[in-house]
Amino acid sequence: MSATTETPKPNLLELLWRAAPESGRGPRKGLTVDEVVAAAIALADAEGLEAVTVRRLAQELGKAPMTLYTYVPGKTELVALMLDALFQGMERPQESGAWRDRLTAVARDNYRLYREHPWAAAASPSRPPLGPGQCEKYEHELQALEGLGLNDVEMDDALAYLLAFVRTAAQDAAQSEAERAASGMDDQEWWEANGPLLAKVLDPERFPTAVRVGQAAGEAHDAAYNAEHAFAFGLERTLDGLAALIER
Amino acid sequence: MSATTETPKPNLLELLWRAAPESGRGPRKGLTVDEVVAAAIALADAEGLEAVTVRRLAQELGKAPMTLYTYVPGKTELVALMLDALFQGMERPQESGAWRDRLTAVARDNYRLYREHPWAAAASPSRPPLGPGQCEKYEHELQALEGLGLNDVEMDDALAYLLAFVRTAAQDAAQSEAERAASGMDDQEWWEANGPLLAKVLDPERFPTAVRVGQAAGEAHDAAYNAEHAFAFGLERTLDGLAALIER
DNA sequence: TTCGTACGTTGTATATTGTACAACGTACGT
DNA sequence: ACGTACGTTGTACAATATACAACGTACGAA
């Protein structure tokens, strides 16, 4: 029996921390994990996450598709690496003000990140894997919650709660934009196409409150849904909710 | 030029309201839209949304794959129909109590729906298309916000805010379960595999707060993430946040 | 009653996806 | 100097949504 050396598949964590064994045998590597990840991010930024296919990414890097599997075990891991790289690249300005201002800054920083990289909001899980970027981000954002009288568990709860809100708001904003773009209709065309049916079917006697409130909301924002307004409204509510915990 | 009759593709809204023209020509239809949707829901409940492929669903219904396109223009529309059917099937008990209890009931009803149909949380957009189920749901849930001194726009904002929180919480819970199942590792195996590297890399001097808080949170819940706890915590914060608006 | 045609059904086909596998060649360690 | 570990790549496969055309059914007009 020949001693076939089982090539140990790199773990996601090892990959995130770039803790690969680095064995010098064989041909030189033509790329680095960072280059692959950077190219993937650039591609996702430019054309959306659905454009990041193995073939396309390889083409972008001037390699054959299967080459990428030398650097990354699969697409899932690639997306995790992309996210951690994004987190690592965020600025972490030291905030010093009232807790509400500090948390507002955290929320806005996250919102901006997701709006600049719309694919990231959809790809990001509530608890990202513990890569260096995620750890630095967590460390930094926890600072905004120190010294408020919260215990450690509450600090974690509060941060996760705030971040989940921001992620969802950004996700909804991106999805709403994407749908609008995909439909190819502006608001006027949509109403011309669907208004007549809706008028017939949205009976004010069957849906009195819904028709009243829906109409008011639709007129208040220019459209059926205003993502920026939803974010602004929700952020105040979220901070008020945390205030009840902090200033108790 | 022969007068080729262009078959008008049914609009999503027409489909949701079952407002199809219903022309009697040709062979009898072997199915109904409701049967297709019901089968799709059953399949998604049993094996997840990724099991709902056109082929598989057709097989389940005893038809050839392409047959389904007679009933539904595409998969996107099918998912929308599945969601609206779910919404339509929800119970709508009339709540009469303090506003906080009413909103708690709304949140719990939504959370239960998403936990019973985990695929729905991920598939549901922030503003579902205006099908009959969504309209009935909207009408019912708005009742919980009537008479609190909010104007119509605020009522819509508040409801959307609450529902977004619930949807995200359910989504996170489902995703956390799915990841655990997909990894095939229980918590102990995961730690045996990743603990050593994490111990090396999570330097308490580099991440003092993160290590401290993360450890406390991990010990408080049994696992790294406790979805039910996150929901309970978040619901209280969300209601507190709305209280600041309502009881102002 | 007859017959044309609208439409339901279905088999075949295509473009894309992630990725398994094996052949090939490079360059390091012995 | 040479064997072998490993990077690179071409080919191949299974699975996806869905376009298209053939086929047959049964309604509506004659």
Nearest CA in chain A to B165: A165
Q: In terms of Cα–Cα distance, which of A207, A110, A219 is closest to A159?
A: A110
pLDDT level of residue A221 (50, 70, 90 thresholds) = confident
pLDDT in tens, A93-106: 998 899 999 999 99
Contacts of A206 in chain B (CB under 8 A): 139
Tokens at B137, concatenated: 């749901």
Q: Rounded to an integer, what distance in angstroms lies between the CA atom of residue B15 and that of residue B72?
A: 8
- Using the 8-state DSSP alphabet, how is residue B68 labeled? G
The token pair at B157 is 């904002």
Weakest-pLDDT range from A176-180, A193-197, A199-203, B6-10 = B6-10
Contacts of A200 (CB under 8 A, 6+ apart): none
* Three-state SS annotation for B214-230: HHHHHHHCCCCCCHHHH
CB within 8 Å: B19 and A197 = yes
Question: Which residue is nearest nucleotide D24, judged by alpha carbon to C1' distance?
Answer: B27
Nucleotide with minimal C1' distance from the CA of B22 is C7
Render pLDDT for B91-111 as a digit per residue (tens, 0 to 9).
Answer: 999 988 999 999 999 999 999
Which of A176, A202, A175, A172 lies closest to A187, judged by CA?
A176
Query: Mean pLDDT, to the nearest integer, of A11-27?
Result: 89
Q: Is the pLDDT of residue B149 over 70?
A: yes
Using the CA of B26, give the nucleotide whose C1' is nearest.
Answer: C7
- At how many degrees (to 10) do helices A208-220 and B132-143 cross? 90
Task: Say if residues B157 and B164 touch (Cβ distance below 8 Å).
Answer: no
Q: How far is the CA of A65 from the C1' of D7 (A)?
A: 13
CB contact under 8 A, B230 and A135: no
Give the residue-averaged pLDDT of A57-82. Answer: 97
Q: Are B111 and B102 in contact (CB under 8 A)?
A: no
Structure tokens of A1?
């029996």
Evaluate whether A212 touches B152 at the Cβ level (below 8 Å).
Answer: yes
The pLDDT of residue A8 is 62
**Closest in A132, A164, A210 to B135, CB measured:** A210
Asked if the model's pLDDT at residue B8 lies above 90, the reply is: no
pLDDT greater at residue A111 or residue B181? A111
Name the residue with higher pLDDT: B157 or B26.
Answer: B157
A203 inside 8 A of chain B by CB: no
Best mutation site among B134, B135, B237 for testing chain A: the one with the most A CBs within 10 Å?
B237
| Residues belonging to chain B | 248
Residue B235 confidence (pLDDT) above 70? yes
**Is pLDDT at B5 greater than 70 in this prediction?**
no
Q: Are A95 and A140 in contact (CB under 8 A)?
A: no
Q: Tell me which residue of A71, A165, A73, A82 sits closest to A131, measured CA to CA.
A: A82
Q: Is B102 on the interface with A (CB under 8 A)?
A: no
The distance (Å) linking the CA of A186 with the C1' of C15 is 30
Best mutation target, B189, B240, B247, to test chain A (most A CBs within 10 A): B240
Pick from A127, A164, A193: which is nearest to B168 by CB?
A164
Residue A10 has pLDDT above 70, yes or no: yes
Query: Which residues have CB under 8 Å from A82's CB, separation 6+?
Result: A37, A40, A41, A44, A120, A123
Does A20 have pLDDT greater than 60? yes
Please state whether the predicted TM-score (pTM) of the whole model is above 0.95: no
Tens digit of pLDDT for each residue in B38-88? 999 999 999 999 999 999 999 999 999 999 999 999 999 999 999 999 999
Q: Closest Cα partner for A122 from B175, B77, B45, B79?
A: B175
